[in-house]
Amino acid sequence: MRLYRHVRALATEHRRGVVAVGNFDGVHLGHRTVIGEAGRIAEAISAPWGVLSFEPHPREVFQPDVEPFRLTPFRDKARTIGALGVDFLAAQKFDIAFSQCSAESFVADFLVAGLGVRHVIAGYDFRFGHKRQGSCETLLALGRRFGFDFTAVSAASDDGGGLYSSSRARELIAAGQVSEAANILGRPFCISGRVRSGDRLGRQLGFPTANVWLGRYARPAFGVYAIRADLGGGKSVAGVANVGVRPTVGGSEPRLEAHLFDFSGDLYGRRIAVELIRHIRAEKKFDGLDALRAQIATDSAEARRILEA
C-alpha cells in the first residue's frame, strides 16, 4: 500500500480511483464494509482502490484536552487498512484551516483536483465540510456536477442487530469487555509502542515485564489481562499484562506492563503490539511485594488457561 500525506502528492497511477472516505478510527467491521465496497467496485471497473482519511482525528483538534480515545493511532490505522489490500491511503492533515473548507470546496479541491476520483464510497452517516454541512446527499449531487459516482453504504450490524461503531467499542474497552469489543473491531483491541525501561521491579519479583506507555490510546479498564504480543518478524508470544498505574509501588502514569510466557530476550527500544484478549481482574493495591508476587503467579496461571482454551 502506498501512503500519501497530502492528496496533491498522489501519483498518476492512483488517480481516477475508487476511494472510501472517512475517519475510520478502529477500522472496525462497519468501516471494513465501506472500504470493502470500494474494493469491490474498484475490481469491477479495473480502477485503483484507495482510502481517504484524516489525521489527527477532528476531536483532537477541536477538543485538545479531551481524554485519550483513539482505538487506532495513525500508525495502527495505516497498518490495519494496508492489511485489507488497498492500493493507497491518503492521510489528509486535519487542522483548523482545513475544517473551514466548505463542503463544495472539499469535493472540488480534495476529491476532484487532488485525488481525481472516479467513484466515492462513504458510510450512510458521513458528514464533512465546515460545520459538518456536507452529507451523502451533498456528495451525490456534487458527484453529478463534477463527474464522479457516489455510493452510500448502509449501517452494518452483528447477528443480534447491534451496530458496529467506534463509540460502542470504546465503551466496551473502558468497561474491560475487550472480548466483546473484538466482535466489533473484527480483531482484539491492540496497544502498540516501543518498550521502555522501567524500574525493573518485575524482574526482581521473578516476572520480568515489557513496559509500553499508553499515549493517546483509549483507556482500557485498569486491571490484568490475558494477552498475545506480536514481537515482529512473525513471532507472537502469549502472556499476562497489567494496565494501570501500579498502586502497590506508588505509580501514577498509566502504562501497560506485559509479562511474556516462556520468553527471554532484550526488547528495550523495540516496537511490540499487545492484544488484550480477556480481562482477568481489576487493578488493586497489595500489602507488600510478597502479596503482589503471589497474585502475579495466580494471574499468570489464569491467563495461560484462558489462552490455551
Mean pLDDT of 138-154: 97
- Shared domain for 30 and 140, answered yes or no, is yes
Mean pLDDT of 243-248: 88
Residue-level pLDDT at 164: 93
Instruction: State how many domains the chain has.
Output: 2
Residue 249: band (very low, low, confident or very high) from pLDDT cuts 50, 70, 90: confident
Q: What is the dihedral of CA 124, 129, 132, 137, to 10 degrees?
A: -40
- Shared domain for 96 and 202, answered yes or no, is no
Note down the domain range covering 103. 2-153
Q: How far apart are CA 118 and CA 104, in angstroms?
A: 17
Any domain includes 8: yes
Grid cell at residue 89: 491511503
Please identify, among 126, 153, 180, the residue that sits at the C-terminal boundary of a domain: 153
- Shared domain for 138 and 28, answered yes or no, is yes
- Shared domain for 137 and 20, answered yes or no, is yes
Helix H or strand E segment including 191: strand 189-194
Residue-level pLDDT at 262: 92
Any domain includes 44: yes
Q: 9-61, pLDDT tens digit by residue?
A: 999 999 999 999 999 999 999 999 999 999 999 999 999 999 999 999 999 99
- Shared domain for 25 and 136, answered yes or no, is yes
Per DSSP, the residues of 122-170 read EETT--BSGGG-B-HHHHHHHHHHHT-EEEEEPPPB-TTSPBP-HHHHH
- Shared domain for 9 and 133, answered yes or no, is yes
Residue 161: band (very low, low, confident or very high) from pLDDT cuts 50, 70, 90: low
- Shared domain for 195 and 142, answered yes or no, is no
Mean pLDDT of 241-255: 85
Any domain includes 168: no
Mean pLDDT of 102-106: 97
Q: How far apart are CA 129 and CA 108, in angstroms?
A: 12
Q: How far apart are CA 94 and CA 272, in angstroms?
A: 28
Does residue 84 have a pLDDT over 80? yes
- Shared domain for 56 and 195, answered yes or no, is no
Among residues of the chain, what percentage have pLDDT more than 70? 96
- Shared domain for 91 and 201, answered yes or no, is no
Mean pLDDT of 169-181: 97
Mean pLDDT of 101-114: 97
- Residue 67: φ, ψ to 5°: -60, 150
- Shared domain for 23 and 79, answered yes or no, is yes
Any domain includes 282: yes
Any domain includes 90: yes
- Shared domain for 13 and 97, answered yes or no, is yes
Q: 182-227, pLDDT tens digit by residue?
A: 999 999 999 999 999 876 666 767 788 999 999 999 999 999 999 9
Residue-level pLDDT at 92: 94
Any domain includes 260: yes
Residue-level pLDDT at 288: 85
**Could you tell me which residue, 198 or 181, shows the higher pLDDT?**
181
3-state secondary structure of 247: helix
Please identify, among 93, 127, 153, the residue that sits at the C-terminal boundary of a domain: 153
CATH code at position 72: 3.40.50.620
Any domain includes 169: no
Helix H or strand E segment including 59: helix 58-62
CATH code at position 275: 2.40.30.30
- Shared domain for 205 and 287, answered yes or no, is yes
Q: 294-303, pLDDT tens digit by residue?
A: 999 999 999 9
Any domain includes 170: no
Residue-level pLDDT at 289: 86
